[in-house]
Amino acid sequence: MDIRLTGKIDKSRIRHMSVPRASEEVLAGYRALEDASGVISDVMDRLGIPGVVGASVLKPTIGGKSIVGTALTVRNVLQHGHEYEAAKKVANRMAEFEAHNLAQPGDVLVIQGVAGVSNMGGISAQTGKRHGEVGAIIMGGIRDVAHSRAVDYPVWASEITPRTGKWRIETMEINGDVEIAGVRVSCGDLVYADDTGVCFVPIARAAEVLALAEKIAAAEEIKCQAIDAGVHIADLPKTE
């Protein structure tokens, strides 16, 4: 992919031009799980891995969607100075487009953003879709929700607002560590998101979490089949 800087961020602020990635086999295994944030959350609890945020905090813009992918991270802060003066100068220092330029198909944009203003709009979502991203997770505001829905680019965000971040936000770092609702996320971590919430799985533990999640999901499927078959509650197979 042709990687070009837009000029909105010093190249030194891009911590990693490339990111570690889970194997396609592991990613496919997570994709095969259905409605699995609860199961993955249980597994992470058992293994002592923090990394789960509920959908009451990070709300999905497209219901019924689930995504699996590799985290590309962006950290935003408020610009210094008066916002209306910056607006007159069109002083746009947002630079998530640089992350889009680094994306590979199947990636997820993860933004530690600013509250009360938009950290991503419709054009950005459409650009991410073009680069093969499967969606975005944003701690902070977003806007142009109808646009991102129209291009089938799901976003999990803590706020929705029409107030632009263009002259209110500055991107400080790309592909460094970010914090999302108290969870530390590194570029390359595996992201699973659905209607119930978002799970950030450290890449070093992704295969381990998947193996136990598949085991539990299979056991729960057997239990559900037994319920449908009319098995008495006392006789239902046990799940771990």
Q: Is the pLDDT of residue 115 over 70?
A: yes
Domain ranges of the chain: 11-24+51-204
Specify which residues 70 forms β-bridges with: 107, 190
From the number of C-beta atoms within 10 Å of its C-beta (0-12, 13-18, 19+), residue 102 rates as buried
Residue 156 C-beta-side C-alpha neighbours within 13 Å: 30
Q: What is the pLDDT of residue 2?
A: 39
Tens of pLDDT along 88-101? 666 667 889 999 99
Predicted local confidence at residue 80, as pLDDT: 74
The pLDDT > 90 percentage for the chain reads 72
CA–CA separation, 155 vs 169, rounded Å?
19
Pairing of strands 178-180, 183-185: antiparallel
> What is the predicted pLDDT for the residue at 4?
44
**What architecture is domain 11-24+51-204?**
3-Layer(bba) Sandwich (3.50)
How confident is the model over 70-79, as pLDDT tens digits?
Answer: 999 999 998 8
Sign of CA dihedral 7, 12, 13, 18: positive
Question: What does the pLDDT look like over 1-16, one tens digit per residue?
Answer: 334 445 555 666 888 8
- Say if pTM beats, i.e. exceeds, 0.85: yes
The C-alpha atoms of residue 98 and residue 94 are separated, in whole angstroms, by 9
